[in-house]
Structure 1
């Protein structure tokens, strides 16, 4: 049985408050939010939380200030600290103040909800509640702490309280349906149906019948009136996957439904009023389809009210290992042998181009859970079972090609022998390549550090530290300078 409790979330970012609050409420917790130290103080007295989640940087001061006094007055309270200042000093301060857990921003929502469950489990154990048992965790559908995914989370947070149409864009395997599921399960329609339909998986002549339903005798095989996906999703969410594959005639009818809010079955004449939220998704470039005459421009505008662009996995490499371990854990929960990931295997996974994105990574982890005889997956096991180094040339990561080329150059120019320790070789190569790479990227974006960090797949604080370490001035790294 899960321990539920009262949670106070303190952050001046409304998006974080919404996402964290809704995720915790879905697990049965009572949640209140505050945006400042003053609001936190007021709610500590009136709400009496079991767990306090607080940011460090708040509009009226340091969120760590006063935590020790709060814990002294509330000895059963557990505090979870969040901070975008991902420094050792912040972690030490959080520990010294008596925090139960410290999570750097951007944080993973699953990790935060697990920390809350652990905090409540600790409190229950202290109270002698021996009926709690293991605290199960309902995994949230999205995993990732990269800047690109944090932007996705922020957009999701902004659409939870409204019914605007959403268009999810991204390559195959990036998790577009998971985004739709997250919006539904965290939003106000979560108690109603979530219905998904894949346009590419249904014969063209049956799409209208599947979407809008049909009457008895409407076509051969129609033996009784059958409700379509719109009616089945009444009050909930209808997810239209692969919308770019929808035939033009079905697009016309869909547009009419979106405009009128009424559905008429195939072979029927009496319209049925429907109330559904529309989330569409595609891996195609719809503006090009419009130009080619294969997609209606007016339908595009109806669907693309709020676009959410999912990055490919190769552009969010900091999430690869987090996802890999998440999928190994999920496989173990599903009854497959439990496996761990060695550091050298993790480095090999980071170098892969991931043409199949998150879906490819999930399938790979499932295969390793079943086929690997060892409990720890090493790089040798990974190479043996999945010959990454012998993959197609166009699927080898550009970074991997660069490292191989520079390694050969370094051996010739710097006299680095192949017998030197791998760590030393890596450090020597990094010292040569990294400052040049930073200069080129910053120059290409006219010194814009935010854009440069995004292109490099690192956060802005990490970029700033590297610039300081190498003595680089971003103001001087501009096009044409």
Structure 2
């Protein structure tokens, strides 16, 4: 059935592509580029769906959504944004948008969002609590956008969250984000590492104990459930929890109550549970090492964090952030050259974001140059992992192109629409290629031309065009 859709975006190319895609689905689509034009369209008649960008020439799309939904509660709204941060995703959810799609987005994903928005009869209540910037999660990759969207949808409720991912991927940062953005943000956030506590003390740590409950219990002690009352309890490395403690935790999650070790008084468990693991809990369940019923109690909202090697386009952003953090904390301010970024993006980072952070701190302390080149990064990576082969040679060229495209997106978004992208990127690749081949052949142009598969005159013309100086005499071979 044809529905009326209004698309608001200051990018003419996006208006055209989205408009054509939705018209092919049979919808009646209007496209405008400003908030003023949007209001004019709304005054002429309310659409069945509004799709709007965040940053518009005459205002902010997110600020407009709350006001609009106060007047038209049943109007579904989809937010588009190139500001692909957790703050944007959460804010879009808080103001009542049906969905949030980070740019660039796949048209099939947009089509599914449109279908869901049109089928939904009523939007959730609007929560206008302000969201603070400066959140610890950083990344604009599609994998991190998926994480942001899940977080945005769970912060306003108390559903149990299970975060999975390799060590160093930032599981506690996600847990803190869920807490800091939710209604329990003013109450405590307490973390407990199941792998770091002796088996015989886990229940006392979680639930507390009474005086005389066991040898050495000379006074009553409140456990983490009691200490985190009203807030969030983060159970890290939950896969390392012994089976007997799993049984006790399950009872608490089922009943919402607990007693201290050696106590008789029932205490209400007023906490939100966020658990995390770097283990395959489904495999542990199959092996009888983790209770199946507890797994399902914890795995209400799963959040799978990608390894850093699966989000290479975030590496440069993270690395510069860690260098900036180091400078704020009094370490020397450093910058990364493009060659250094390529090297960082080619490394597989077995220790994930934590390893990258430690490497950047090491660079800030131990390197003398203000601008860090590839050699400085290679030295730090080699020092950190001498037995490893840190650079993925096959990924270097691809990583460099991805990094350059990311920078072009930020610096000159129009470059993707003016038809110059191919020549621009090929031109940037050509110069270092010719320089590297010349260097390999000692500056001998004839040998370099043969290696490149071009004739000598063509090579000379490219040298002149690119302004490459050849200092070594061009001796015949």
Shorter-chain-normalised TM-score: which range? Answer: 0.5 to 0.7
Provide runs of 4+ in structure 1 moved above 6 Å. 35-38, 55-60, 98-101, 110-113
Contact 1:207 1:250 (C-alpha < 8 Å) held by counterparts: yes
> 2:419 matched to 1:419?
no
> 2:82 matched to 1:64?
no
CA 1:336 to 1:206, structure 2 compared with 1: closer, same or farther past 3 Å? same
Give the 3-state SS of the residue equivalent to 1:211 in structure 2.
helix
Contact 2:89 2:148 (C-alpha < 8 Å) held by counterparts: no
- 5+ residue gaps, structure 2, are 23-28, 40-51, 62-79, 91-131, 399-432, 441-447, 453-477
> 2:285 matched to 1:290?
yes
Structure 1 length as normaliser, TM-score? 0.59
> 2:331 matched to 1:336?
yes
Which of 108, 128, 134 is equivalent to 2:85?
108
Contact 2:164 2:278 (C-alpha < 8 Å) held by counterparts: yes
What is the aligned-residue RMSD (CA, Å)? 3.8
Q: CA deviation at 1:371?
A: 1.3
CA 1:214 to 1:401, structure 2 compared with 1: closer, same or farther past 3 Å? same
CA 1:386 to 1:395, structure 2 compared with 1: closer, same or farther past 3 Å? closer
Measure, in 2, the Cα distance between the counterparts of 1:242 and 1:100.
Answer: 41
Which of 153, 165, 172 is equivalent to 1:170?
165
Which deviates further from its counterpart, 237-246 or 379-388? 379-388
Contact 1:211 1:229 (C-alpha < 8 Å) held by counterparts: yes
Contact 1:328 1:338 (C-alpha < 8 Å) held by counterparts: yes
Bigger Rg, structure 1 or 2: 2
Q: Which residue of structure 1 lines up, in the alignment, with residue 232 of structure 2?
A: 237
Which of 138, 142, 149 is equivalent to 1:147?
142
Which of 272, 281, 288 is equivalent to 2:267?
272
Contact 1:106 1:146 (C-alpha < 8 Å) held by counterparts: no
- 5+ residue gaps, structure 1, are 1-34, 41-54, 71-81, 85-90, 114-136, 404-414, 430-481
Q: CA deviation at 1:225?
A: 0.7
Which of 336, 345, 358 is equivalent to 1:350?
345
Q: CA deviation at 1:399?
A: 3.0
Higher-RCO chain (CA-CA 8 Å, sequence separation at least 6): 1
Measure, in 2, the Cα distance between the counterparts of 1:180 and 1:353.
Answer: 25
Measure, in 1, the Cα distance between the counterparts of 2:208 and 2:280.
Answer: 29
Q: Which residue of structure 2 lines up, in the alignment, with residue 317 of structure 1?
A: 312
CA 1:389 to 1:369, structure 2 compared with 1: closer, same or farther past 3 Å? closer
CA 1:276 to 1:66, structure 2 compared with 1: closer, same or farther past 3 Å? closer
Q: CA deviation at 1:159?
A: 0.7
Q: Which residue of structure 1 lines up, in the alignment, with residue 358 of structure 2?
A: 363
Deviations 1:264-304 (A, max 9, x none): 11111111112111110000000111111110000000000
Number of residue pairs the alignment of both structures matches: 321
Q: Which residue of structure 2 lines up, in the alignment, with residue 254 of structure 1?
A: 249
Contact 2:35 2:59 (C-alpha < 8 Å) held by counterparts: no
Give the 3-state SS of the residue equivalent to 1:168 in structure 2.
strand
Contact 2:343 2:391 (C-alpha < 8 Å) held by counterparts: no
CA 1:394 to 1:199, structure 2 compared with 1: closer, same or farther past 3 Å? farther
Measure, in 1, the Cα distance between the counterparts of 2:437 and 2:363.
Answer: 32
Which deviates further from its counterpart, 301-310 or 270-279? 270-279
